[in-house]
A = this chain, B = another copy of it.
Amino acid sequence: MVKVTFVKIGYIATSTIIDALLDERAGRKDLQMRVISSSVSMEEDAAIEVAKIAVGIPSDLYVIVSPNAAMPGPTKARAELKIAGKPIIVVSDEPSRKALKENPVEGVGYIVVMGDPMIGAKQSFLDPVEMALFNADAIKVLAVTGAFRVIQQELDKVIDQLGRGEKPTLPQVVIEKENALAAANISNPYAQGKAIAAFEAARRVANLSTEGTFKVEAPERYLPILVAAHELLREAAKLADEAREMEKANDTAARLTHFSKGETRKKIKLADKFEK
């Protein structure tokens, strides 16, 4: 049994269910997962603290999930986890791409999830309901466009290698529109286009929320920009839903479910049986 410990520092939408992507209902016998999180905090102290707890948990693999992995908190957590001497995979969002790609670290793989945008981080948008809705929309986009499938497949590959006692090849992956689509298992070409459109809209959301949060000071200017960020994500989720509905209409909404030994099996038509 492979033991994977997730260290979550702060929140991106991917944080909310990344581990559940690997074993939707605790059916796998080959995998044990634990999660340690500093919740919303990205402070160095908090990050180090949770990393230390994680080091204390017997693990074959660590997965750190956080916004901008180049920030001091996640960086320190990484350093702390290195002590355990186990492979590490960093999962983070667009702002961390440059740092992760340009400074690859031995024993540390990465998955950069483009299209997992920052919330409009001004008080007007930090209401719990607004925050929850923003995350729900982001989850929809990441699920349908294939981003979550890339994450799941990359992690599963490593788990599989670990399970077979091999030294794993750690991912160095930036999830963009095309590799996401390749993983999405969408059949209809217009549904494919809708999925990409949703993904790209979500990336534009990141531009808007960054601008509205950090670059514009006057409320009368940043309010419409941040509303726009949230509205565009809502619409991206609707595009994702349109894509999914097209696939359902054609009975081609692919299912790739984990079975007990950890392998995924696939079926296309709902009434079909899963193929090994």
Contacts and interface: CB of A to CB of B under 8 A. Distances in A.
Interface residues of A, number: 113
Q: How many copies does the complex hold?
A: 6
A113 interface: no
Contacts of A248: 188, 190, 246
Interface majority SS on A: helix, strand, loop or mixed?
Answer: helix
A105 interface: no
5 contacts: A19-B39, A124-B257, A124-B270, A128-B143, A193-B224
Nearest 5 interchain pairs by C-beta: A193-B227, A196-B228, A33-B39, A35-B37, A132-B143
Interface of A: 6, 8, 10-11, 16-17, 19-27, 32-43, 46, 49-50, 53, 56-57, 119, 121, 123-133, 135-137, 139-140, 142-144, 148-149, 152, 177-178, 181, 188-197, 200-201, 203-204, 207-208, 219-221, 223-232, 234-235, 237-239, 241, 244, 246, 248-251, 253-259, 267, 269-271, 274
